[in-house]
Amino acid sequence: MTGQPTNDPRVLTLAEGDNIVVLKSTIQAGERILLCGQEVFVPHTLGLGHKLAAEDIPAGQDIIKYGFPIGFAAADIPLGGHVHVHNLTSRYTQVEVME
Amino acid sequence: MTTMMAWPRKDGRKGIRNVVLVAYLVECAHHVCKQIARPFPDGDVQVVGFSGCFPSDYGQDMMAALCTHPNVGAVQLVSLGCENFKKTQLAEVIRASGRPVDIITIQDVGGTGPAVKAGRDWIKQTHAHIMAQPKVEMAVSELVIGTICGGSDATSGITGNPAAGVAFDMLVQEGATCIFEETGELIGCEHVMADRVADEALRPAIIASVDKAAKYYDAMGYGSFSNGNATGGLSTIEEKSLGAYAKSGQSKIAGILRPAQTAPAGGLYLLDVVPDGPPKYGYPNINDNAEIIELISCGAHAVIFVTGRGSVVGSAISPVLKVCANPETYDRMSGDMDVNAGRILDGGTTLQDVGAEIVEKLVALGQGQTTASEDLGHVEFVLTYKTAAPAEPGCHPN
């Protein structure tokens, strides 16, 4: 939303103060994309709606989306790292992934 | 805004549909109802009912609210004969509302064959009668609109839900009644929500309703977070909640409603679907359709359904307008969708424009237009046991 020219056009910043960006379309495994002016490597294919860290996020810090916390980092997450159930923990109901 | 034409009801409300309901009062009468309705178009005659044989105040309240819904013109009640439903009481409520009503008791009329024939004969006559009633003008301020999201993914919170929120703001400004739910999906944003109350007295009730939902779902062993949500990029209940919360828009919250209660005046209302007291009959609502029916029980003329991964459902009684948040899903399932909110992601349009399109399509439902789910014959209906809601006079001022 802030229209930073330093980001890949496929990512979206939803609100000021967010420490994650959201994918608007798929990014393929192995791509190097621009995020906050830095080139980051994306090791896995990630679909629309997935989140990447917009800064280095230390373990325990809140993950901010829409300007509000959506949980906390369960591990250190580097800039460009995929933020999802493996490293983002709810402060409410535990998520159970059932395949 | 453009005028709609609708059927006037005795209580002052108006219907944008004029449906004959065929209502089973126990599951044993369900098949007879389906047979009665079979020769008629889905839009004219729809089957609803309460399956349980044990008494239920909630089932009784819900059936009374649904059978006297403004979109309903007449009701054929079908009883097996030995169930514990207060059918005479329900028939009296419907009759007092000015609607034609009839009871068929299968055991008394001689079984399936005679019951089906009696039902079809009554409906043929009654449908012609109610369709002959003149329609009157209806203003946007008289609309009651509900909203839910289902099959959510991360696009729901980026495009579809905020666009539904814009539509709600426009409708509330026109004086319409807008209802959002579901407190189990608002866990994590109760304090943000409490800051929006129209009346300070409402603040603790808002926080208590979400707190109650969190405890209830915890006791059930699960939150309202499914594997499909995670595949779509959502990671936590708070993240999903903030995305779901966006569909309520920015208006002040005028009050809290419970199932089968109508709003006292226009404005934005939170529907609290979680029963009070200890968990008793399982999940508050077992699926999206049970939620849709509760919104309709509060008088919703139509329901905005925002979906990311792609739901196909509609509902008995009121049209369900499908807003697709994900452009990839829209391309795959466009025949089931009414609004393509996902085009916001391509920069092709704005939230404001999609919100306005939603309002325009809702108003068109009162001008002879139909939704995709209506055209496809979707008339889903789910109603199960729940603890009846007490009246909460403190929660909706006016």
pLDDT at B241 (0 to 100)? 86
Cα(B188)–Cα(B26) distance, integer angstroms: 39
Q: Tell me A54's DSSP state.
A: S
Residue A32 lies in a domain: yes
Residue B306: name the closest of B197, B140, B181, B172 by CA.
B181
Q: How many domains does chain A have?
A: 1
Residue A99 lies in a domain: no
Residue A75 lies in a domain: yes
Residue from B238, B344, B345 to probe the interface with A (highest A Cβ count within 10 Å): B238
Size of interface A-B (CB pairs under 8 A): 97
How far off is chain B from A22, nearest CA to CA, in Å? 8
* Chain A residues with CB within 8 Å of chain B CB: 12, 14, 22-25, 46-51, 63, 65-66, 68-71, 83-85, 88-93, 95-99
Chain A contact for B227 (CB, 8 A cutoff): yes
pLDDT at A17 (0 to 100)? 87
pLDDT level of residue A13 (50, 70, 90 thresholds): confident
Provide block-wise average pLDDT over 10 residues at a time, chain B (398 residues): 89 98 98 98 96 97 98 98 98 98 98 98 97 97 96 85 95 98 84 89 94 88 70 84 88 96 97 92 93 98 96 98 94 97 86 96 97 98 93 49
Chain B neighbors of A49, CB-CB under 8 A? 153-155, 158, 232-234, 308, 326
How far off is chain A from B72, nearest CA to CA, in Å? 40
Residue A97 lies in a domain: no
Q: Which residues of B316-344 are buried (b: 16+ CB within 10 A; e: fewer)?
A: bbbbbbbbbbbbbbbeebeebbbbbbbbb
Residue A83 lies in a domain: yes
**Residue span of the structural domain in which A30 resides:** 11-89
Query: Does A83 sit within 8 Å of B227, measured CB to CB?
Result: no
Residue A94 lies in a domain: no
Residue A27 lies in a domain: yes
Query: Does A51 sit within 8 Å of B188, measured CB to CB?
Result: no
**Does A3 score more than 70 pLDDT?**
no
Tell me the residues of chain B between 298 and 337 that have a Cβ less than 8 Å away from chain A: 308, 326, 328
Query: Does B158 sit within 8 Å of A92, measured CB to CB?
Result: no
Task: Give the tens place of pLDDT for each residue, A16-72.
Answer: 789 999 998 899 999 999 999 999 999 999 988 899 999 999 999 999 998 788 999
Question: What are the boundaries of each domain within chain B?
Answer: 19-132, 140-395
Residue A96 lies in a domain: no
Query: Does B188 sit within 8 Å of A91, measured CB to CB?
Result: yes
SS (H, E, C) chain B: CCCEEEEECCCCCEECCCEEEEEECCHHHHHHHHHHHCCCCCCCEEEEECCCCCCCHHHHHHHHHHHCCCCEEEEEEEECCCCCCCHHHHHHHHHHCCCCEEEEEHHHHCCHHHHHHHHHHHHHHHHHHHHCCCCEEECHHHCEEEEEECCCCCCHHHHHHHHHHHHHHHHHHCCCEEEECCHHHCCCCHHHHHCCECCHHHHHHHHHHHHHHHHHHHHHCCCCCCHHHHHCCCCCHHHHHHHHHHHHCCCCEEEEECCCCCCCCCEEEEECCCCCCCCCCCCCCCCHHHHHHHHHHCCCCEEEEEECCCCCCCCCCCCEEEEECCHHHHHHHHHHCCEEHHHHCCCCCCHHHHHHHHHHHHHHHHHCCCCHHHHCCCCCCCCCCCCCCCCCHHHCCC
Classify domain B19-132 at the CATH class level.
Answer: alpha beta
